[in-house]
Amino acid sequence: MERINLREIRYRVSWGSIFAGMFTVLAVSVLLSVLATSIGLFKVDPMSSDPMSGVGTTFGIWSVISLIVSLCSGGFVAGKLAGTDGLIHGFLVWAVSMIVAVILAGMLAAGAVRMTANILGSVSSVAGSVLSGAGSVVKDGVSELTGQAKELFDDIDFNGQADMGGVRQNIRQALIKSGVREFQPDYLQDQLNTVGTDLKKSVKKLVANPQDADDIIDNFLNRLKKRTEQYARNINREDLAKAIANNSDLSRAEVEDAVDQYMNLSRQAMNKGKKALDDLQDTLREAQQEWQQAKQKALIAAEKVTNAAARSALWTFIAMLMGAVLSTVAGMFGSRTTLRRYEV
């Protein structure tokens, strides 16, 4: 039996042993990952309605087992090669392995981002930042929410008509000359066209930013209410008669007939246009209610995802803590197997 002086090697840190342990951790992890892939593929059932059922749980359990086994192996190797202070060498194997794993994960993530940038494009967020462990699930939820917004609002159209084509040409010219905005023959139709343009812009903005849907809808409905109130204002008969008389050579009786004709046409067009505005408001209210239900479902789904991510993070912490303890203990046993060969 070889004799050694324990004082000479006590508290000595052997980085070669630590790196050997770290490489052992990585090698065993790769080996077990290949086995995990095989097990996971065996769990996939293409004939099932949910072919991926159980795969996630299998990978989760196997990941914990792989982490513990690889760290125990690495800690044992480091402790055995160091020959002393196996506890600290086993712990340092765990610490260095964790740092290397984080660096490698960052490099792989950056590469994945570059490779998939053209595919993913820009994605709208419903709830702000999301835990990375639940990123893919939340992305699917955001895409689904955007699709629901498009389905609910993109088909809503407005083509209100306020036909004032029955106004005689001489009366039309007189009203145009008057310069009074409300008396213009195309005034009512222009108001409806403005509503249609505003609706298209609001829907486009809503589909692009579904997280702001409530504010966008409420703002549009407020503008629509104001326009409806303004649209439904009665025309002052005396002002209309004055505008026609001052800009035409019609007699008093002819002016009165023209005013009656214009008032009737305007009333009919106004009622038709107001009905279209009311129908649009009702349609938007119904779509808004359906949107509230869809958003509530999305929030419930997001809560489930974040809770699952929180549980996953907790189990990851527990597994890493167990790995640290077991790697340290394995290092201690590894150093003891070496010291048995020497007389101290």
Clarify whether residues 58 and 190 are in a common domain.
no
Q: What average pLDDT is seen over the chain? A: 77
Total number of domains in the chain: 2
Clarify whether residues 97 and 59 are in a common domain.
yes
Domain that holds residue 257: 141-299
Q: How far is the C-alpha of 89 from the C-alpha of 95, rounded, in Å?
A: 10
Q: Which of 15-19, 102-106, 130-134 has the lowest mean pLDDT?
A: 130-134
Asked if residue 132 belongs to a domain, the reply is no
Clarify whether residues 116 and 147 are in a common domain.
no
Clarify whether residues 46 and 94 are in a common domain.
yes
Q: How far is the C-alpha of 320 from the C-alpha of 71, rounded, in Å?
A: 9
pLDDT per position as a tens digit, 127-157: 333 334 444 444 555 556 677 788 888 888 8
Clarify whether residues 291 and 150 are in a common domain.
yes
Asked if residue 320 belongs to a domain, the reply is no
Collapsing DSSP to helix, strand or coil, 180 comes out as coil
Supply 232's token pair. 């439904």
Percentages helix, strand, coil for the chain (3-state, rounded to 5) are 80, 0, 20
What pLDDT is stored for residue 144 in this prediction?
63
Clarify whether residues 251 and 189 are in a common domain.
yes
Clarify whether residues 185 and 284 are in a common domain.
yes
Asked if residue 313 belongs to a domain, the reply is no
Clarify whether residues 181 and 295 are in a common domain.
yes
Asked if residue 344 belongs to a domain, the reply is no
Clarify whether residues 165 and 111 are in a common domain.
no
pTM of the model: 0.53
Clarify whether residues 51 and 150 are in a common domain.
no
pLDDT per position as a tens digit, 267-295: 888 888 888 888 888 988 888 888 888 88
